[in-house]
Chains A and B, each alone.
Chain A
Amino acid sequence: GESVGLHLPTLSVQEGDNSIINCAYSNSASDYFIWYKQESGKGPQFIIDIRSNMDKRQGQRVTVLLNKTVKHLSLQIAATQPGDSAVYFCAERLAGSARQLTFGSGTQLTVLP
């Protein structure tokens, strides 16, 4: 079946730099997307979401960009901090589904001192 995937499994950035985590999705019928952060031994934690009728949404230090033409989602983290080190998952929801999310396999972000 169709699934959400990520371009890179790992990403290392210097503290203070900006991070960009990418995600490709294949289901054009998905209408809602979420980024989650998961620290080791913990459950996923919501970061930011975006509906398919938007192409950009900003939060505190984070921005999500959605390009429906190429089915691409990205998460930008400004001024990356050591506490941002975690695995980041994008997830999509198929329009008309039972509201359940399909997750990608994740990107490990490591913030270097």
Chain B
Amino acid sequence: DTGVSQNPRHKITKRGQNVTFRCDPISEHNRLYWYRQTLGQGPEFLTYFQNEAQLEKSRLLSDRFSAERPKGSFSTLEIQRTEQGDSAMYLCASSTGALTGELFFGEGSRLTVL
């Protein structure tokens, strides 16, 4: 499978715990995005990497959230001191450097904070 891969697919945690999600983009894609999606809503932009550089962060990304893409390949999204409001689907997408062009999404990592 050469699509975008995310893991874990599901994570249940207690409030206050830290969680980390991993995304492996399509290999030739230099752009990587993280989105968050809650039930019944469209995905909301969180952050964007071009290669290893994090170029944009949404105001939705509080100080408890941190994303990295250390070698310009896979990326991690860490949430510290999770809150119940963090429960959502975390989607990763990748794309080429074309000015237009679709984002290829992974299947997402669903987080449930108890």
8 Å CB contact of A100 from B33, B91, B102, B105: B33
8 Å CB contact of A106 from B4, B40, B100, B105: B40
Range class of the B interface residue count: 20 to 34
Q: What's the nearest-Cβ distance from chain B to residue A50, in Å? A: 9
Complex contact B102–A34 (CB within 8 A): yes
Complex contact B56–A98 (CB within 8 A): yes
State whether the Cβ of B31 lies closer than 8 Å to any Cβ in chain A.
yes
8 Å CB contact of B42 from A43, A99, A104: A104
Q: State the total of A-B contacts with C-beta under 8 angstroms.
A: 53
8 Å CB contact of A103 from B4, B31, B44, B95: B44
In the complex, chain A residues whose CB is within 8 Å of the CB of B33: 100
State whether the Cβ of B52 lies closer than 8 Å to any Cβ in chain A.
no
Tell me the bound Cα distance from A69 to B41 in angstroms. 27
Q: What's the nearest-Cβ distance from chain B to residue A56, in Å? A: 16
In the complex, chain A residues whose CB is within 8 Å of the CB of B25: none
Interface string of B81-109 (1 = CB under 8 A from A): 00000000001010100011111111110
State whether the Cβ of B65 lies closer than 8 Å to any Cβ in chain A.
no
